[in-house]
Structure 1
């Protein structure tokens, strides 16, 4: 009888342990960082823009077990660029404040509390505020911007205990300008530091 009890206990422990490993883990955390953005015309022919520093702050989640994980994020992001028209003597600062929603797939290499991550995926941005320098406001190409934009991002991350660090490049896919003859896209690098709450 004792042998059957021990055998039943071992089988049950093995089954529950395997089931727990198969279930996806869920993490939630906060993150902040800097971005370095550039607003350029698609052909580079009429708009030249210098890279400027912006900010990023928000939350992230990670869902998945060993191997592949899904990482949705939500940030308030400030993007800025110093724009100069190539064929005119007009220049000024252009800024966007947006809610950014990256939907990333990634994988983690490492054991225990430390690991290296690789991740990539689409980003949708909802522009909540835009400001065009006064000298550029009269220029047709800058008169109207869309309220939504798509991009793709990818990069590397490091996990050390509850801390997270990321380096990413984001490439704009959709045109920001409503003027089809003056396409503009935002490209940026981001450096972020995060903390896992649970």
Structure 2
């Protein structure tokens, strides 16, 4: 009887020790639920049809920003802050009778995206994994380049909302994102404005 009780006590002690070890491992593996990082990349935007312009084509720009990734192994939220420079190329605008000017318009924004993501593998590991991400962004215009088509900052809508979606890939501390941007509001601040920005961006960066 004593031997049986002793064996049970030893078994309970062993079980308790193993449970404690597993708890420590679990806590350690779940300890870090936040990554921070920085990204830089290129973008290409155009303007949909607008009565104020005769035409426009895809123009190249760039963006630079920081982000925080917060969540679980599969799902995460990623707020960020970016400086984004867009170019709308080959814009034709009538400035008078038989007078048509053509130029590129450079637009500069502070951008605040909030992306929700799903990870094919653990989002907080350094193993390679694919991500699906989508979410809204608020963009605030902070400048317009000098141009020959008489578009100034006052004629650009200050605050603009967009929906963004795409794919991401993480490799060690490196991350890569490819996104489609679909603006919901007109770019110009005119009563008859219809043109909205559409574009793609490719970014790469580091996460820590």
Name the TM-score, length of structure 1 as normaliser: 0.85
Residue of structure 2 equivalent to 1:120: 134
Say whether the 8 Å CA contact 1:81–1:93 is kept in structure 2. yes
The answer to which of 82-91 and 113-122 deviates more is 82-91
Deviation at 1:194, TM superposition (A): 1.1
Deviation at 1:84, TM superposition (A): 1.8
Give the counterpart of 2:49 among 41, 44, 67: 41
Gapped regions of structure 2 (runs ≥ 5): 1-8
Taking the aligned partners of 2:39 and 2:189, their CA distance within structure 1 comes to: 32
Deviation at 1:85, TM superposition (A): 3.5
Deviation at 1:151, TM superposition (A): 0.6
Taking the aligned partners of 2:93 and 2:48, their CA distance within structure 1 comes to: 10
Question: What SS does the corresponding residue of 2:62 show, helix, strand or coil?
Answer: strand
Deviation at 1:128, TM superposition (A): 1.1
Say whether the 8 Å CA contact 1:142–1:177 is kept in structure 2. no
- Pair 1:63-2:70 in alignment: yes
Residue of structure 1 equivalent to 2:38: 30
- Pair 1:109-2:112 in alignment: no
- Pair 1:176-2:190 in alignment: no
Count, aligned residues = 193
Deviation at 1:70, TM superposition (A): 0.6
- Quick check: which one's strand share is greater? 1
Question: What SS does the corresponding residue of 2:100 show, helix, strand or coil?
Answer: coil
Seen in structure 2, the aligned counterparts of structure 1 residues 161 and 194 have a Cα distance that, compared at 3 Å, is same
Give the counterpart of 2:111 among 88, 96, 100: 100
Deviation at 1:2, TM superposition (A): 4.9
Residue of structure 2 equivalent to 1:76: 83
Name the TM-score, length of structure 2 as normaliser: 0.81
Taking the aligned partners of 1:142 and 1:97, their CA distance within structure 2 comes to: 10
Question: What SS does the corresponding residue of 1:69 show, helix, strand or coil?
Answer: strand
The alignment's C-alpha RMSD in Å is: 2.6
Taking the aligned partners of 1:89 and 1:143, their CA distance within structure 2 comes to: 21
Gapped regions of structure 1 (runs ≥ 5): none
- Pair 1:152-2:130 in alignment: no
Taking the aligned partners of 2:147 and 2:108, their CA distance within structure 1 comes to: 15
